[in-house]
Amino acid sequence: MTDLAYVNGQFLPAENAVISINDRGLQFGDSVYEVVKAYGDKPVLMDEHILRLERSAHALNISLNGIIEEIDRIVPEGLQRTGFSQTIIYIQLTRGTQPRNLIFDKTIKPNLIATFRPYGLDLASMRSNGIKVSLYPDIRWAHCDLKTTNLLGNVLMKNKANDEGCFEAILFTEDGRVSEACSSSVFVVKNGVLLTTPSSENILPGVNRKYVIDIVAPQLGIPVREEHTFKDDLFTADEVFLTSTTFLVMPVIEVAGQQIANGKPGPITMSLVEQFEKNIHN
Amino acid sequence: MTDLAYVNGQFLPAENAVISINDRGLQFGDSVYEVVKAYGDKPVLMDEHILRLERSAHALNISLNGIIEEIDRIVPEGLQRTGFSQTIIYIQLTRGTQPRNLIFDKTIKPNLIATFRPYGLDLASMRSNGIKVSLYPDIRWAHCDLKTTNLLGNVLMKNKANDEGCFEAILFTEDGRVSEACSSSVFVVKNGVLLTTPSSENILPGVNRKYVIDIVAPQLGIPVREEHTFKDDLFTADEVFLTSTTFLVMPVIEVAGQQIANGKPGPITMSLVEQFEKNIHN
């Protein structure tokens, strides 16, 4: 089975799926998106992803008329049509199609695009080895709290990290504060406490970040504080880990070429990995 | 004649022109562009636009293999096919098509898109009346010197300005310095001298900005200094004007609801308008 796509009412093979060159997502990054993982026919934390999509669209005045109902309909259908054991669902909602103009028509109709692809990461091996990450200045714009496709900063930094043999890059703002990673949230473990960057316009309100804070850590009795950490806190941390939709919880063993603690996935991180997995498979 | 498009080797009506949903321009804003105005079959400052496109693509490692030759071929052909008296040529070069992944394949082939549309502004009336502009914090990313399609910040601010009855918005950085406008460069006239923001990563190296600095102002004996101006300098300016491909030089008569000087297009601005027009029609 090849990748499946959905565009404005029609399922078709992803390689045949197209959109107008006058789509505003293409011309301006004027669009929002979500990535959802599914096990069999069960998307993980779907309600939370939908809520965030609504929030992003509202903030940008992208019309949602009938869109959520459409997503609710096509996600189960797409999963059924593909039948992958684990699926990455990509949902992109653009403001719509209009001859190029920064000013958008108030009556423009959004374009809904989705793809269904088999999950590709070797999670077991990544988790048991831990990952290496780079550390870069955060060059992105002032509204990283919105999940938009203005992702060129993320693209550049993730590729640079990749070229350096790293899986991700942790980003820091001008004053040295950790913001987040290119496509994941950052947690620092210090004296048995999880520290993570408070929500603000600088970071995405991560669905899995929130699930760790609200559900997984409390289940294990691990205290969490949403407070700023600085670059140097990474190097003196007991453990560092990332959260994201594609890997849930991922231990970091090296930052910018420097080993974290003993250079192995930490015990608190691994207990969170295990508990998170337990929750979503129940 | 309807809008004409060109996509990867083929001319077709813009309304039928499509691109893969896996295009990285659509998914990440991973693309660069130029807008060129043509009078009849003569594009204005084409070499300068091509140079900037090359610069943007190089900075992002977007392959240019054969692309410039392709643009050199299709621009005259597109202008001939449409035959508009004045044309806006839009050229977009995306990194290419690939199943969604922040990491791009090093061998990916770029997609070249272009549109040819009739010019739509009533320039004579805009120039004789002058325009009103809004004044907003610059919320964009750290590489506005690259002409990429990560334009959502520009979109949001231009629409907000439009909703307030303004044609453009001038942007200022955190320390109150004027950077540029959403889709144009800013000049302040003070005691007979043109002041404009120095080139940096915060502003686009405007083709028409440079043409005013290097050619038009010297022709008229008007001194230019590339130095920072601050928000308040706008309100005490003798004149304020913008430069861009779509309107060359445009007098500003009001900023954030406050009248500039006597609220009429200034004499230095209008002499630049006239000289610029003279140059490109000779």
* Domain topology for A4-120: D-amino Acid Aminotransferase; Chain A, domain 1 (3.30.470)
Nearest in space to A265 (alpha carbons), one of A107, A65, A125: A125
Cβ pair B152:A21 closer than 8 A: no
How, if at all, do strands B178-181 and A31-39 pair? unpaired
pLDDT digits (tens, 9 = 90+) for A7-20: 999 999 999 999 99
**B contacts of A152 (beta carbons < 8 Å):** 28-30, 60, 141, 143, 148, 150
pLDDT digits (tens, 9 = 90+) for A183-195: 999 999 999 999 9
Among A147, A210, A264, A278, the one annotated catalytic: A147
* Two structure tokens written together for B152: 């959502």
- Amino acid sitting at position B120: G
**B contacts of A139 (beta carbons < 8 Å):** 141-143
Q: Which are the catalytic amino acids of B?
A: 147
Residue A191 C-alpha, separation from nearest chain B C-alpha, in angstroms: 34
Beta bridge partners of A189: A194, A239
Domain segments of chain B: what residues? 4-120, 124-281
User: CA-based Rg of chain A, rounded to a whole angstrom?
Assistant: 19
Distance CA B170, CA B242 (A): 9
Cβ pair A139:B142 closer than 8 A: yes
Cβ pair B60:A141 closer than 8 A: no
At A41, the pLDDT band (50, 70, 90 cuts) reads very high
Distance CA A91, CA A74 (A): 10
Distance CA A267, CA A273 (A): 10
* Two structure tokens written together for A122: 């070797």
Distance CA B225, CA B250 (A): 19
Contacts of B125 (CB under 8 A, 6+ apart): none
**B contacts of A151 (beta carbons < 8 Å):** 27-30, 102, 150
Distance CA A243, CA B85 (A): 55
Residue A237 C-alpha, separation from nearest chain B C-alpha, in angstroms: 28
How many Å separate Cα B146 from the centre of its chain? 11
Determine the residue among A19, A62, A102 to mutate to test chain B binding: the one whose Cβ has the most chain B Cβ atoms within 10 Å: A102
Rounded mean pLDDT, B135-152? 98
Tell whether the model's pLDDT for residue B21 goes beyond 70.
yes
**A contacts of B5 (beta carbons < 8 Å):** 21
Contact A222, A194 (CB under 8 A): yes
What pLDDT score does A1 carry?
64
Say whether A124-281 and A4-120 share the same fold: no
Nearest chain B residue to A3 by CA: give it: B99
Tell whether the model's pLDDT for residue A125 goes beyond 90.
yes
Residue A241 C-alpha, separation from nearest chain B C-alpha, in angstroms: 20
- φ/ψ of residue B23, rounded to 5: -65, 135
Distance CA A127, CA A249 (A): 8
pLDDT digits (tens, 9 = 90+) for A100-121: 999 999 999 999 999 999 999 9
Strand order in the sheet with A86-94: A10-13, A4-7, A111-118, A86-94, A31-39, A42-43
What pLDDT score does B282 carry?
77
Does the predicted interface ipTM exceed a cut of 0.90? yes
pLDDT digits (tens, 9 = 90+) for B163-205: 999 999 999 999 999 999 999 999 999 999 999 999 999 999 9
Angle between helix B67-82 and B46-59 (nearest 10) = 140
Angle between helix A67-82 and A46-60 (nearest 10) = 140
Cβ pair B149:A100 closer than 8 A: no
Other CB atoms within 10 A of residue B214 CB: 11
Contact A107, A82 (CB under 8 A): no
Largest CA distance in chain A: 58
Cβ pair A20:B15 closer than 8 A: yes
**A contacts of B156 (beta carbons < 8 Å):** 60
What pLDDT score does B232 carry?
96
Beta bridge partners of B97: B23
Cα dist from B4 to A259, B81, B149, whole Å: 56, 8, 21
What pLDDT score does B254 carry?
98
Proportion of chain A above pLDDT 70, given as a percent: 100
Rounded mean pLDDT, B124-143? 97
Residue B282 C-alpha, separation from nearest chain A C-alpha, in angstroms: 30
Nearest chain B residue to A91 by CA: give it: B27
pLDDT digits (tens, 9 = 90+) for B228-278: 999 999 999 999 999 999 999 999 999 999 999 999 999 999 999 999 999
- DSSP H or E stretch at residue A32: strand A31-39
Cα dist from B274 to A136, B46, B279, whole Å: 47, 21, 9
Cβ pair B100:A115 closer than 8 A: yes
Tell whether the model's pLDDT for residue A282 goes beyond 80.
no
Tell whether the model's pLDDT for residue A2 goes beyond 90.
no
Q: CB-hemisphere CA count at 13 Å for B98?
A: 18
Contact B278, B132 (CB under 8 A): no
Q: What is the DSSP letter of B191?
A: T
Distance CA B59, CA B53 (A): 10
Nearest in space to A33 (alpha carbons), one of A237, A199, A245, A197: A245
At B2, the pLDDT band (50, 70, 90 cuts) reads confident
**Residue reference for tokens 């691994």:** A270
The average confidence (pLDDT) of chain A is: 97
Distance CA A254, CA B277 (A): 59
Distance CA A144, CA B208 (A): 32
Contact B131, B269 (CB under 8 A): no
Nearest chain B residue to A159 by CA: give it: B103
Tell whether the model's pLDDT for residue A124 goes beyond 90.
yes
Rounded mean pLDDT, A26-43? 98
pLDDT digits (tens, 9 = 90+) for B73-129: 999 999 999 999 999 999 999 999 999 999 999 999 999 999 999 999 999 999 999
Cβ pair B139:A141 closer than 8 A: yes
- DSSP H or E stretch at residue B59: helix B46-59
How, if at all, do strands A111-118 and A178-181 pair? unpaired
pTM here is 0.97
**A contacts of B92 (beta carbons < 8 Å):** 21, 26-27
Question: How many residues appear in chain B?
Answer: 282
Of A15, A92, A142, the CB nearest to B139: A142
Cβ pair B152:A15 closer than 8 A: no
Contact A151, A121 (CB under 8 A): no
CATH for B124-281, options being 3.90.76.10, 3.30.43.10, 3.20.10.10, 3.40.109.10: 3.20.10.10
**A contacts of B20 (beta carbons < 8 Å):** 15, 17-19
Rounded mean pLDDT, A64-87? 97
Distance CA A65, CA A110 (A): 9
Tell whether the model's pLDDT for residue B70 goes beyond 90.
yes
Residue A218 C-alpha, separation from nearest chain B C-alpha, in angstroms: 32
Nearest in space to A92 (alpha carbons), one of A121, A116, A61: A116
Distance CA A76, CA A93 (A): 18
* Two structure tokens written together for B119: 């010019």
Distance CA B80, CA B38 (A): 11
